[in-house]
């Protein structure tokens, strides 16, 4: 897997060369410098070009044209023009600080785009889709024998109150809320046990734009401990729950998690 870490000025130099006006994660203004004049922006692009050349990521050809390293140009191009992407939000155990990054998919190319700093842009090129799936699965513990209990459905507002009760170390209140929602006792107990322990949370959101007027979105949330692995997915509206967001929750095996990520539309 090829990795590139470049500065805002270097990215802007590449975008200027490729005549790309919009790029995900690139703010209109540099957070540290604020609004720049056209002359200052031009100077920044020139500095970016020189930095790329100094690091061996660009060169001037015999005709005097700036040429960008093929893999770096490919990575930036995939992120700029890909119709499909998977956004990943990762909360480590007992942390409110999330790491977020996106995987962009164009033709046979898969590129991860990360922002380790407001002024830095990281690109990881994957050799194939399976490598992406394996990398994502490594973000959470992979228990050998997850709990096996029936799946259940619960409205989003109930699920939020259950989460709040578990966070407040009130498992009995959380169990009561699930019981009132009709969740079987064994499923409710197993789920609350996961919420009450330090756990990893992964939120996947897959976006696919087959044409300019169509956008499909799929999402899933993974909760993982050393002993359990759960998935929560939103259900489409139906006569059973019209106008109210409802989630289906269930334990999932590690191999089934990998298959689910692969099936998502990204």
Of residues 238 and 73, the one with the higher pLDDT is 73
**Distance from C-alpha of 205 to C-alpha of 224, rounded to nearest angstrom:** 18
Q: Within 10 A of 52 (CB to CB), how many other CB atoms are there?
A: 25
pLDDT of residue 252: 94
Judging by DSSP bridges, how do beta strands 84-91 and 99-106 pair with one another?
antiparallel
Entry pTM: 0.89
pLDDT digits (tens, 9 = 90+) for 219-256: 999 999 988 999 999 998 765 655 568 999 999 999 99
Element (H, E) at 114: strand 109-117
C-alpha dihedral sign at 183, 189, 190, 196: positive
pLDDT of residue 118: 83
**Distance from C-alpha of 188 to C-alpha of 211, rounded to nearest angstrom:** 42
pLDDT at position 263 over 90: yes
**Distance from C-alpha of 122 to C-alpha of 1, rounded to nearest angstrom:** 13
**Distance from C-alpha of 137 to C-alpha of 245, rounded to nearest angstrom:** 27
Classify residue 181 by its DSSP letter: T
Pick from 10-14, 90-94, 146-150, 231-235: least confident? 146-150
Average pLDDT over residues 58-67: 94
Of residues 152 and 239, the one with the higher pLDDT is 152
CA distances from 244 to 175, 237, 247, 264 (A): 21, 7, 10, 23
pLDDT digits (tens, 9 = 90+) for 176-187: 999 999 999 999
- At 70 the three-state DSSP class reads helix
pLDDT of residue 224: 94
Find out whether 121 and 115 touch, Cβ atoms under 8 Å.
yes
Show Cβ contacts of residue 209 under 8 Å, excluding neighbours closer than 6 positions: 83, 84, 215, 216
Please give the structure tokens belonging to residue 97: 């600080």
């Amino acid at each position: 897997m090829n990795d590139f870490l470049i500065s805002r000025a270097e990215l802007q130099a590449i975008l200027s060369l490729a005549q790309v006006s919009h790029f995900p994660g690139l703010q209109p203004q540099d957070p540290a410098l604020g609004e720049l004049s056209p002359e200052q922006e031009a100077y920044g692009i020139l500095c970016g070009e020189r930095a790329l050349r100094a690091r061996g990521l660009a060169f001037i050809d015999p005709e005097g044209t700036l040429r960008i390293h093929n893999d770096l140009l490919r990575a930036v191009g995939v992120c700029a023009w890909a119709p499909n992407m998977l956004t990943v939000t990762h909360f480590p155990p007992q942390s409110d600080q999330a790491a977020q990054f996106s995987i962009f998919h164009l033709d046979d190319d898969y590129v991860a785009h990360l922002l380790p700093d407001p002024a830095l842009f990281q690109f990881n090129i994957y050799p194939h889709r399976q490598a992406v799936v394996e990398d994502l699965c490594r973000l959470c513990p992979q228990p050998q024998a997850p709990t096996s209990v029936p799946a259940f459905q619960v409205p989003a507002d109930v699920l939020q109150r259950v989460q709040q009760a578990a966070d407040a170390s009130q498992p009995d209140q959380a169990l009561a809320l699930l019981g009132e929602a009709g969740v079987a006792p064994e499923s409710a107990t197993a789920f609350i046990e996961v919420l009450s322990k330090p756990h990893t949370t992964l939120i996947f959101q897959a976006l696919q734009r087959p044409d300019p007027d169509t956008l499909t979105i799929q999402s899933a949330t993974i909760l993982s401990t050393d002993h359990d692995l759960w998935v929560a997915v939103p259900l489409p509206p139906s006569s059973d729950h019209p106008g109210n967001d409802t989630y289906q929750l269930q334990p999932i095996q590690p191999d089934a998690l990998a298959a689910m990520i692969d099936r998502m539309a990204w």
